[in-house]
Amino acid sequence: MDRVVLDAELREKLGDLSTPFHIFDETGRVVLFVTPADSKSLYEGMDSGIPSEEIQRRIAAGGGRPLKAILADLAAKYGEASP
């Protein structure tokens, strides 16, 4: 199973789904930790450790390489990926 359909009955059991919550089995063991798709609670307020001046410098510098060029270099170095 790769998806669960949230029907009206399940939505009523789960509530408003606006904050992260745990789902327990019948023994009280946590089996899932659910974070709503639009919740920023897992990363809100976190710091990358990179000073904002450095972030702005990197943005202003532009540059970088196209993904196609990077993939070509990796394929040349390590060989083609197998399907």
Domain residue spans in the chain? 8-40+48-77
Give me the residue label for tokens 């450790």: 49
> Would you state the pLDDT for residue 83?
46
Give me the residue label for tokens 């196209």: 66
CB atoms within 10 A of CB 12: 8
Q: Please choose, from the candidates 3, 5, 33, 6, the residue with its C-alpha nearest in 3D space to the C-alpha of residue 20.
A: 33
Task: Give me the mean pLDDT over the 39-49 stretch.
Answer: 81
Long-range contacts at 17-20 (CB < 8 A, ≥ 24 apart): none
Task: Give me the mean pLDDT over the 37-60 stretch.
Answer: 86
- Look at the chain and count its residues: 83
Q: Looking at the DSSP assignment, which residues form a beta bridge with residue 34?
A: 21
> Would you state the pLDDT for residue 46?
86
Q: What is the pTM of this model?
A: 0.44
